[in-house]
Every structure is written in structure tokens, then in C-alpha cells.
Amino acid sequence: MDFGSEEAYAVWTRLIQDESLYAAMMSDSLDELVKTQGYRITERERELLAKFRAERGVRWMMENLRFRSAMQTAETVSHRLPRTVRLLTKGDDDWLQDITFEYLAFFHWKVLGFNTIAEVERFGGYVTSRVMKRRFTPAYLKELLAFEMEIVRVYGRTASIPEAAWRPLPSQAPSAAQVAESRPCRTPQVSVVHSEVDLSEWIRSADPLKGKVVPGHTAALVWIPSPLVKHQMQLLSPGARLLFDACLGRSTGAELAKHFAEEYGAQPARVLELIGEWMVKGALIESIVSSPAPAIGLMSKHLSLGIPLLTTSARGNLQIQAIDHQGSLAKSGIGVADELLKLDGVQLRSAAAWQDALVNKEVGDRCVMTIHRVGAQLDIDVELLPARQELFETTDVDDPSGSPWSEAMKSLGERVPKLFTEA
């Protein structure tokens, strides 16, 4: 009986994905499989399975295919999640091969191939839902995995960025005067990646088997300057993180420098220098909005509610666009997108109203903040904290994960012929 190539391919694919069917074919026990497990196998499928069974080297082909698939997946996840894989396996490549083999078996050998973003997303979910539930895994593995997965997602988001949105990098750094006049805005392919523990030693060394994690917070700026280069990363001090969060294209560099000088004690020149650095490296661009919405900075000489940037919502209320996670409001559970209505019963409609409401307040006072959140109005107790003096520093990190789009295409071109000629 003759069989078409599509028919043969469908049965071969089923054999790859169904280990029970493959084992029954190799042990000549298909009838038992049908009887005990209710498998549906047509007569034509039986004849094809018999042909496959009679082929010389079929066992070697199947085992080689699965072994090589596990090796390829191990390479993919090691490349995209280098620190996570090293911490999980303690640097043992054989253990990684075992993990990826069982991972693919769990998903019935449906390899996602060169869609490495989707493969790594699925692998990360497998580690969380399967590996971490049946083994004693190293401390902070979950936090490290979440951190590196966010870097992977930065690459994933580039798929929706139109070609025209990739602006060429500036040939030279803008002057302080140019930065002061600009309205800096983040690019589409940028993210501030957070962790609720201090992973900075592991991030800088790229080796979680060295160094230690301490209580604290990690914020890393991750961005892809162009399709021709891999992502770049900077560890951000708290002040630098607040500054970047405030770069939304609404305020000029001069306005931001003035605000952060008054609110956090930053040197205006340093604020402009940081913004200029991010612009020349491709993390920020100059906003092309012709008439940006007014941005309001909330500040006081002796206390801070911890809001580097407010804007006006569609309802006409003051709305938080960025927030200091160590400030008064954040520590009370108030966050980004919340709309601020009243302070101790006083309506808040402008920066002037804010200043009037705070003029007689002192550090340590408690007040009631009325907010609007997702259709509900809430009254939240807030303790006023002192204004903080922040460091505005960044640390460049040479991250081993990821690769430029152009290198990925070159790699693909080199591997494809081997996939069809070797196994």
C-alpha cells in the first residue's frame, strides 16, 4: 500500500509526541495499548507504524532526535536565562540536559524551535510550576527567574514595534542646553526591571554561585538601542530610577532638573547629564508631542509624599504617573494610576492646592488621603515622611543573555542545513 508524504509525516510526528505509542510500536504491543488505554489507531496508521518499525535505525533516529532537541533547548534557555540556569543546575550541564529532556517530554516534544522567546516563556513557567514544586531549589531562584524573564519580554515586545519607530542613535551626546529644552520620553523597547530583593551582585558578576543576595530592591534599566545590537542594561540607584520614571515626554529637562533638585536634593547638572546619557544610548528620545499635557511636581522643603510626577486624568483629577516606592504614599499602599482627590478633606485640583494643604504639615504627621481607584473612592491613612536625599547614579552591566537580531538570523542560517543533513 502506498502512502503520501503528508500521511507518513503525520504518523511520524505522532510517534515523536506520544512516547507510549512509540514504546508500543517498538515492543509490538499496539493491540494492548488500544485495549488498555483506548487508543484509536486506523488500519492505515497500523500499516505505517509497521513500516516504521521495520526500518533499520528507527530507534537511533528517535532517540537522537529527542536528545538533540533537548540539547538545542538547553542552549536556548542557557542563552536567554544564563543566571537562572546556572543557579538551578549549579553549573552542571548534564543536569540541565535532564531538565530540558523532561521539559520537552512534558509538552509532548512540541519544540518551539527558533521562536526562542516563546520557548523561554514556556520553560520559565515549567520551572516555576513543576521543578520548584518537586525539588528543594536554591534560595532566590524565583526572584532571579522573574528578573531574567522580564529581560526576555523586552525582546518579545519588539515584535510589535513598527520599523519607523526605531530611531537612529544620535551621533554625539546632546549638550546640557539641548537636554534642558527637550522633553525626554522613553522608547518603546525599554523597561525598568524590578526585583524586591537586591540581586545586584549576581547581576554584575553574571554568576549566582558567587556573591550573595541581601534585603533591598533592584532596579535595572533594560533597552534595545537598535535591531543590530543586543540589549543594554544599567543598574539604577533609587534617584536614577525615579528620574527615568518621570521621563514621559511631558516635562522639559529643565523642569525635571528643577523638580528633582527641590524634591530630592539632586544637582541639576547631574540630572541633565543622566538624561543626556540615556538619550545618546537610545533609552530615551525627544518627545514629538506638540502640546504635551502639563506635568506637576509635588514638593515641599522639609517633607515629601514621594511623587516625582503627577498629571491630570480624563476626569480632571491629579493622577500619579510615577512614584517613589520608599515615599509616604507608596508605603501607605497608594500607587501609579491612582487619582488623588483630597488631603484631610481639602480638594486637590492643582499644585497650588497641594502646597496649601501641606503648608502646616510636619514630618511624622498623619493625614487621610482620599483617592479614586478603579471606580471606587478610598480613604487611606498616610504618615508624612521626611524628604530623602537620593543618589543619582547608574552602573553599566555587560549582560550575557540575548543577542542582536542580526546574529540570530545568521545563527539560523548556519543551523538549518545541519538539521536536515545530520540526524
Task: Supply the pTM of this predicted model.
Answer: 0.74
Asked whether the predicted pLDDT for residue 169 surpasses 90, the reply is no
Distance in angstroms (rounded) separating the CA atoms of residues 225 and 210 = 30
Distance in angstroms (rounded) separating the CA atoms of residues 327 and 263 = 11
pLDDT for residue 348 = 84
pLDDT for residue 409 = 41
Asked whether the predicted pLDDT for residue 115 surpasses 70, the reply is yes
Domain boundary among 286, 316, 331: 286
The verdict on residue 246 lying in a domain is yes
Count of domains forming the chain = 4
The verdict on residue 223 lying in a domain is yes
83 and 208 Cβ atoms separated by less than 8 Å: yes
73 in the same domain as 40: no
pLDDT for residue 412 = 40
List of residues 6+ apart from 57 with CB closer than 8 A: none
pLDDT for residue 301 = 44
108 in the same domain as 185: no
The verdict on residue 99 lying in a domain is yes
50 in the same domain as 79: no
The verdict on residue 227 lying in a domain is yes
116 in the same domain as 190: no
* Host domain of residue 32: 5-55
Instruction: Return the closest-CA partner of residue 81 out of 123, 44, 137.
Output: 123
Domain boundary among 105, 138, 171: 138
Task: Tell me the per-residue pLDDT of 209-251, one tens digit each, with 9 for 90 and over.
Answer: 988 898 888 899 999 998 888 899 999 988 898 899 888 888 8
Domain boundary among 55, 71, 86: 55
pLDDT for residue 351 = 63
340 in the same domain as 271: no
Element (H, E) at 370: strand 366-373
CA–chain centroid gap for 72, Å, is 23
279 in the same domain as 219: yes
Count the Cβ atoms, other than its own, within 10 Å of residue 168: 8
The verdict on residue 298 lying in a domain is no
The verdict on residue 23 lying in a domain is yes
Where residue 405 falls among pLDDT bands split at 50, 70, 90?
very low
281 in the same domain as 167: yes
Instruction: Return the closest-CA partner of residue 338 out of 386, 380, 296, 297.
Output: 380
267 in the same domain as 245: yes
Where residue 196 falls among pLDDT bands split at 50, 70, 90?
confident
Asked whether the predicted pLDDT for residue 290 surpasses 80, the reply is no
Task: Tell me the per-residue pLDDT of 304-352, one tens digit each, with 9 for 90 and over.
Answer: 666 656 677 888 888 887 677 777 888 888 888 889 999 899 888 776 7
pLDDT for residue 414 = 44
Region for residue 235 given its phi and psi (left: phi exceeds 0; alpha: psi -120 to 50; beta: otherwise): beta
Min mean pLDDT across 165-169, 286-290, 384-388, 407-411 is at 407-411
268 in the same domain as 180: yes
Section 92-110 average pLDDT: 94
Asked whether the predicted pLDDT for residue 298 surpasses 60, the reply is no
* 184-186/284-286 β-pairing: antiparallel
The verdict on residue 296 lying in a domain is no
124 in the same domain as 77: yes
Distance in angstroms (rounded) separating the CA atoms of residues 276 and 178 = 9
Tell me what the pLDDT averaged over the chain comes to: 84
Residue with cell 518603546: 188
CA atoms within 13 A on the CB side of 33: 17
The verdict on residue 134 lying in a domain is yes
118 in the same domain as 85: yes
CATH number for the domain that contains residue 313: 2.30.42.10
260 in the same domain as 188: yes
Where residue 207 falls among pLDDT bands split at 50, 70, 90?
very high
pLDDT for residue 408 = 45
